[in-house]
Amino acid sequence: MASRLSKDTYDVVVIGNSALGMGTAYQLRKRDPNLSIAIVGPSHRTGAATMAAGAMINVWAEMALGQFDNPALADRAELTIKAMDLWDGHCSELSEFSEQPLSIKWGTYIVNNVMGSPHEMKAVDYIMDIMRQRGVPHEVLGPNAVPWIKPEQKGQAIRIVRVPDGRIDPRLVLKAYERFFAARNVDVFDDTAEKLEVGLKLPFVGAEKRITLGSGTVLKTKTVVLASGSFSQALIDQVPDLRREVPRLVWGAGSGLDISMPAWIHRYGGLDRSVFDVDAVVRTVDRGGACGVHLVPYGNGEFYLGASSGVWFEPEPKPRVHAVHVLLRGLVEEINSAFFFAIMSTRGPGFRPVSMDTFPLLGQSHMPGIWFANGTKRDGFTCSPYLCREIASEILGGPSSLPKRFQPSRKLISYKTAKEAIEDYVAADFGGEIQHGLNLPPYALDTYRSAKRAKVQKIYEMRNIQNFGIHPELPHLYENDEFFAACNHPREFD
């Protein structure tokens, strides 16, 4: 790579200062101490998905029913599996720059309970089958085997499965990155990238891209990494050739809650103190497109509760009432009734970067020097040690083992077949509505499902989509004319 040309010209400018942006800059600096690197992102990180996360190292508990029956879905799952093996070493490296040693606390309990849909039982069966096939250690426990899982009667557990997923406070990881950059001569701009210009005819020497910051500062470079999640779309829109070839990013909104026990409980007790013994993540599997109800312990009666999920065309700055309501219900009814007395504050919303096929955008686009570490939905933090290592290697001219199907400039990847996608939509919708209080008599189930199936089939017919499978979280973006006009993109199998 070229050496530094001037104080405003860099070898690489990374736009985005959260898990994937900082992780990519970290890997670049590790490999080349002479590379001039700039990172752009506001220090408050408002809207960053990582800051609104718990965060779980979510691998096995996130596997969806039939995940490995579809090549693209299997490739996406393998990203998390490969990253999982890197986290211990990554934490060991970063601990040199952390105020406290970083480590993953391994172990997650998946709960099947009477409040879940039949789809959840099948999903956990599938997860266990895959783990058995791959020799992944796990343990099936009885409904009363974990003493601090004490739900209300209406949310009684049916079974509990311990899997080797983990947890770490993501804020500590980002702070360690910041200390590393300060010690390793990486320039960090506490600012926003407002304008992206690309082309050889720009009026400056030695670079092909120009990034104008909110402060008016102009950075010049040959290599730009778009790692600011859904916020990157505003820059993509400024480059017509890029906007035309790269699937649009929309806003995967999610909020969590910081949960703690009030001081009087610490001093005087007054409830079952098993709530202080929570020593691992406890969660349900995915529900209605969300990542299930999950509780992440931080110790001393401090917890993270997550997470809501909704895919929007535009960002919403505050969480929706129904989203927080479902989380609080799940905490008390499905995990431990003692949380009825807890106190809370909102974390987020954070915006998971969701592409219009929900598959990631990884590597160099068709425009030389414009790279993506993006579109990872809710797997960005989990996958970051692996994705950032591979992207950095490729930027520096080395090999990359990232799946070629996830390159940024591409057609939309089908979510299974159209028929399978429709059935998954019906199952996901039903699971989500159960969490919002839906209670149907058995004789009405088929009628309900038929109505939902007809609704989504009408959307397929409206857009003349026959073979392409729309991800179950996205049909509403195809239904609305304005959203569809902005998000429509060439599709495989069309």
Tens digits of per-residue pLDDT, 475-493?
999 999 999 999 999 999 8
As a whole number, mean pLDDT of residues 394-410 equals: 98
Tens digits of per-residue pLDDT, 241-293?
999 999 999 999 999 999 999 988 888 877 778 889 999 999 998 876 667 79
Q: Is 60 a residue whose pLDDT tops 90?
A: yes
Q: Is 6 a residue whose pLDDT tops 60?
A: no
Q: Is 339 a residue whose pLDDT tops 90?
A: yes
Q: Is 202 a residue whose pLDDT tops 70?
A: no
Same fold, 9-51+171-248+357-406 and 110-166+251-355: no
- C-alpha distances in Å from residue 388, one per residue of 91, 311, 348, 382, 392: 14, 25, 24, 11, 6
Residue ranges per structural domain of the chain: 9-51+171-248+357-406, 110-166+251-355, 418-487
- Report how far Cα 58 is from the mean position of its chain's Cα atoms: 10
- Report how far Cα 233 is from the mean position of its chain's Cα atoms: 17
Model's pTM, two decimal places? 0.95
Q: Is 204 a residue whose pLDDT tops 60?
A: no
Of the candidates 89, 87, 278, the residue with the CA atom closest to the CA atom of residue 165: 87
Q: Give pLDDT, residue 174.
A: 97
Of the candidates 239, 100, 244, 240, the residue with the CA atom closest to the CA atom of residue 172: 100
Q: Give pLDDT, residue 2.
A: 40
Tens digits of per-residue pLDDT, 298-335?
988 999 998 888 999 999 999 989 889 999 999 999 99
Kindly state the percentage of the chain with pLDDT values over 90: 83
Q: Rounded to an integer, what distance in angstroms lies between the CA atom of residue 25 and that of residue 117?
A: 42
Q: Give pLDDT, residue 56.
A: 85
Q: Rounded to an integer, what distance in angstroms lies between the CA atom of residue 95 and that of residue 244?
A: 42
Q: What is the DSSP string of 349-369?
A: EEEEEEETTS--EEEE-SSTT
Q: Give pLDDT, residue 54.
A: 84
177 in Cβ contact with 23 (< 8 Å): yes
- DSSP single-letter state for residue 161: E
Q: Which CATH superfamily is domain 9-51+171-248+357-406 in?
A: FAD/NAD(P)-binding domain (3.50.50.60)
Q: Is 398 a residue whose pLDDT tops 80?
A: yes
- pLDDT-derived band at 3, boundaries 50, 70, 90: very low
Residue with tokens 């807890």: 342
Q: Is 441 a residue whose pLDDT tops 80?
A: yes
User: Hey, which CATH number is domain 110-166+251-355, 3.50.50.60, 3.30.9.10, 3.40.50.300, 3.30.450.370?
Assistant: 3.30.9.10
421 in Cβ contact with 56 (< 8 Å): no
Q: Give pLDDT, residue 409.
A: 98
- pLDDT-derived band at 203, boundaries 50, 70, 90: low
